[in-house]
Amino acid sequence: SRFIMQQTTFDSYNKILVVIPAYNEEKDIGSVIANIRQVLPIANVLVINDGSKDNTATNAKVSGATVVSHFQNMGYGIALQTGYKYAQMNGYEYILQIDADGQHTPNFLKDILSKLISSNIDIVIGSRFLHRESYKPPVIRRIGIVIFSFLASMMIRQKITDPTSGFRGYKRSVLNFLVSDYFPVDYPDADVIVMCHRYGHKIKEIPVIMNANTNNKSMHSGIKPLYYIFKITFSLFLTLLRKF
């Protein structure tokens, strides 16, 4: 195994897990966890410490989260999949994911969870473009999002406005795909939506507020925008050719 448990205490009666992938987020991780616990006190919080070189793991543990640590930095997608595997192994029914840098507003976790519980929707995506007060990304990234939005919407025949949003919720039924080798661990964005749709899962977007990243960094840092756009576009078309 490429990860180790640093804390294993959780209430087995709780069926809601909030997954937070984190890399060098010692500054914000504590407040993110505190806000989550205030909004959803019945949920368990899992931080995937993706080989951080700072005090991310310690601060997350002190804040009351369960911490799973990778021995080295494996990347955003693998960190997420570690969280999905943990959720499946421990019998969680609802899996919510949120970023560690404070860009996602935890208050909307309740809206995502409510939609999962009260409907036949399997995947809920928080869209910044459906909320007028939300932060809009830089121009280059927005161009990529427009392209992915068009392609994903066309492929699943349903309007998707924010296909790169990492602010999501899943029912347990989706985990079989999320933990499989088909899951695109390099850039798990728009192609995950298309793949899940092909698996027969129902998808819904809801409006959320996202904030600007004041640290000017994230687990996606270092990705060249043009390469990112090309890679996701190519991956989307490959998805249509795959047999599941």
Q: What is the mean pLDDT of the chain?
A: 88
Q: What is the pLDDT of residue 239?
A: 73
Kind of pairing, strands 44-50 and 66-70? parallel
Q: What is the mean pLDDT of residues 154-168?
A: 95
Q: At what angle do helices 139-156 and 225-241 cross, to 10 degrees?
A: 10
Q: What is the mean pLDDT of residues 229-233?
A: 77
Q: How far apart are CA 184 and CA 170, in angstroms?
A: 16
Report which secondary-structure segment, H or E, holds 112: helix 109-118
Percent of the chain with pLDDT over 70: 89
Cβ atoms of 20 and 100 within 8 Å: the answer is yes
Q: What is the pLDDT of residue 134?
A: 86
Q: What is the pLDDT of residue 11?
A: 42
Q: How far apart are CA 202 and CA 185, in angstroms?
A: 21
Q: What is the mean pLDDT of residues 111-127?
A: 96
Which one-letter amino acid corresponds to residue 162? D
Kind of pairing, strands 123-127 and 66-70? unpaired
Q: What is the pLDDT of residue 104?
A: 95
In the numeric block, which tokens belong to residue 116? 């999962």
Q: Select from 91, 67, 69 the least CA-distant residue to 1.
A: 69
Cα 62 to Cα 53, 69, 105, 166, 175, distances in angstroms: 17, 15, 21, 25, 29
pLDDT range class, residue 243, cuts 50, 70, 90: low
Cα 105 to Cα 62, 100, 140, 173, 217, distances in angstroms: 21, 11, 23, 26, 17
Beta carbons within 10 angstroms of residue 15's beta carbon: 17
Q: Select from 225, 164, 172, 173 the least CA-distant residue to 200.
A: 173
Q: 3-state DSSP call for residue 139? A: helix
Cβ atoms of 124 and 116 within 8 Å: the answer is yes
pTM score, whole prediction: 0.86
More reliable by pLDDT, 221 or 198: 198
In the numeric block, which tokens belong to residue 56? 């991310």
The 10s digit of each residue's pLDDT in 17-41 is 999 999 999 999 999 999 999 999 9
